[in-house]
């Protein structure tokens, strides 16, 4: 019988936006529980400190670096912090992102720049900094994109553009980094329950839970929303030894939304 791949000890991963109540927090928890040293990078100081302390109380290895990832030099500072805390960096999860739902005619230059700055510019800067710092033995990067990179809805022009850019960036970065033994892969989450998403839905729906129930029944092949920890488990797979021959790939975790040309029940 083939033994499961065990994660090597003392590996360190930087997770941007890793303190949130959605995907970021799920990824951070899963990677810490898997025995990795995690460096949570987030602008939310209260959430970041709270999560890192909570994980530490569980005997897990976590450190928090509070910063605005859009600022020049932030990525290099985060890498230096990881080096000081854990002696190096072996992996990166570009998870941080913000949304924008606005008709293109109403999008300001400031809106546009802000979404691109967080969603793609920071991913580029963090990837560059981590690639420079990784050991000669290599490492791995996972970019969190979205199903909006594949198909989208009215009002998501700018957001979808950033997520499509992340998808293309993943493939190109994998080509550049292959000779360095660095693997790069991408995940397209669908609608993941989170405070941020619930707040967004609440702007146009009186009953958020009823809206989510209708969404799963009509917009997904599977009648259950993907959970943040499930995204975290997929990240863990891509960063681990079982994925040692996989690079430049993208996969959706969306209950089947992205493959549908119809609505269930129609």
* CA dist 6 → 9, 122, 208, 237, 243 (Å): 9, 31, 40, 11, 12
* CA dist 121 → 69, 72, 84, 107, 263 (Å): 9, 10, 25, 19, 35
Beta strands 182-189; 139-144: pairing state: parallel
Active site residue 159: no
Which member of 112, 124, 156, 262 is catalytic?
156
Rounded Cα–Cα distance for residues 44 and 259 (Å): 35
Which residues, in sequence order, are CB contacts of 30 under 8 Å at separation 6+? Answer: 229, 232, 233, 235, 236
Is 146:189 a contact under the CB 8 Å cutoff? yes
How does DSSP classify residue 99? -
Among 164, 95, 97, residue whose Cα is nearest residue 127? 95
215-218 contacts: CB < 8 A, separation 24 or more? 215/191, 216/255, 217/264, 217/265, 218/263, 218/264, 218/265, 218/266
E-state strands within 145-248: 182-189
Catalytic residues: 156
């Amino acid at each position: 019988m083939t033994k499961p791949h065990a994660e090597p000890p003392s590996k360190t991963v930087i997770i941007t936006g890793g303190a949130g109540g959605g995907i970021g927090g799920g990824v951070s928890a899963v990677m810490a529980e898997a025995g990795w040293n995690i460096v949570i990078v987030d602008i939310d100081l209260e959430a970041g400190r709270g999560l890192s302390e909570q994980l530490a109380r569980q005997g897990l290895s976590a450190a928090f670096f509070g910063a605005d990832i859009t600022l020049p030099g932030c990525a290099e500072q985060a890498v230096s912090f990881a080096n000081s805390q854990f002696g190096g960096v072996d992996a990166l999860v570009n998870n941080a992102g913000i949304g924008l739902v606005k008709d293109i005619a109403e999008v300001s230059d400031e809106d546009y720049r802000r979404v691109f700055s967080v969603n793609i510019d920071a991913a580029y800067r963090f990837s560059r900094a981590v690639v420079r710092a990784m050991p000669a033995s290599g490492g791995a990067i996972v970019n969190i994109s979205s199903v909006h990179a594949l198909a989208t809805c009215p009002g998501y022009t700018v957001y979808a553009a950033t997520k499509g850019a992340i998808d293309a960036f993943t493939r190109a970065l994998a080509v550049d980094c292959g000779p360095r033994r660095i693997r790069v892969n991408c995940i397209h989450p669908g609608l993941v329950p989170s405070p941020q998403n619930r707040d967004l839905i609440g702007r146009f729906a009186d009953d958020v839970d009823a809206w989510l129930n209708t969404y799963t029944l009509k917009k997904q092949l599977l009648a259950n929303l993907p959970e943040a920890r499930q995204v975290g488990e997929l990240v863990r797979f891509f960063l681990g030894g079982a994925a040692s021959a996989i690079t430049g790939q993208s996969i959706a975790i969306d209950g089947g939304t992205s493959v549908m040309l119809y609505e269930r029940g129609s």
